[in-house]
Amino acid sequence: MAHSLSGKGLRILTIDRRHPVRGSSAASTAMIQHEIDVSLHRLARTIGHDKASRVWRRSAGAVEELKSLIRDLGINCEFQARHTLFLSGQELGARALKKEAQAREEVGILAEYLDRAALLERYGINRSGAINSAISASSNPVQMTTGILRAAKQQGVEVVEGLEVTDVREVGDNVIVATDQGKMIEAAHVIFCSGYEFLECLRNPRHKLMSTWALASKPRLKRPDWLDNYLVWEASDPYLYFRSTSDGRVIVGGEDEKGEAAYLDPIKIKHKTAVLVEKLADLTGISLGKPDFSWSAAFGVTPDGLPMIGTAPGMRRVFVSMGFGGNGITFAKIAADLISATVLGHQDVDWDLFPLL
End-to-end CA distance of the chain: 22
Phi, psi of 133 (to 5 degrees): -135, 165
Q: Are residues 214 and 280 in the same domain?
A: yes
Q: Which residues pair with 56 in a beta bridge?
A: none
In a domain, residue 319? The reply is yes
Round the average pLDDT of the chain to a whole number and report it: 94
**246: domain CATH number?**
3.30.9.10
Q: Are residues 338 and 322 in the same domain?
A: yes
Q: Are residues 38 and 150 in the same domain?
A: yes
Per-residue pLDDT of the chain (357 residues), as tens digits, is 999 999 999 999 999 999 999 988 899 999 999 999 899 999 999 999 999 999 999 999 999 999 999 999 999 999 999 999 999 999 999 999 999 999 999 999 999 999 999 999 999 999 999 999 999 999 999 999 999 999 999 999 999 999 999 999 999 999 999 999 999 999 999 999 987 888 888 888 888 889 999 999 999 999 999 999 999 999 998 899 999 999 999 999 999 998 778 999 999 999 999 999 999 999 999 999 999 999 999 888 888 889 999 999 899 999 999 888 888 899 999 999 999 999 999 989 999 999 887
Q: What is the pLDDT of residue 305?
A: 87
In a domain, residue 42? The reply is yes
Q: Are residues 212 and 279 in the same domain?
A: yes
Q: Are residues 266 and 166 in the same domain?
A: no
**CA-CA distance, 106 to 84, in Å (whole number)?**
19
Q: Are residues 268 and 313 in the same domain?
A: no
Q: Are residues 70 and 95 in the same domain?
A: no
Q: Are residues 315 and 232 in the same domain?
A: no
Q: Are residues 48 and 115 in the same domain?
A: no
Alpha helices in 265-327 (DSSP H): 266-284
Q: Are residues 225 and 88 in the same domain?
A: yes
Q: What is the pLDDT of residue 268?
A: 94
Q: Are residues 192 and 337 in the same domain?
A: yes
Distances (CA, A) of 292 to 201, 217, 253, 271, 288: 40, 5, 14, 16, 10
Phi, psi of 178 (to 5 degrees): -100, 150
Q: Determine the structural domain holding residue 337 and report its residue range.
A: 1-79+139-207+306-352
Give the pLDDT confidence of 158-171 residue by residue, as tens digits: 999 999 999 999 99
Q: Are residues 225 and 108 in the same domain?
A: yes
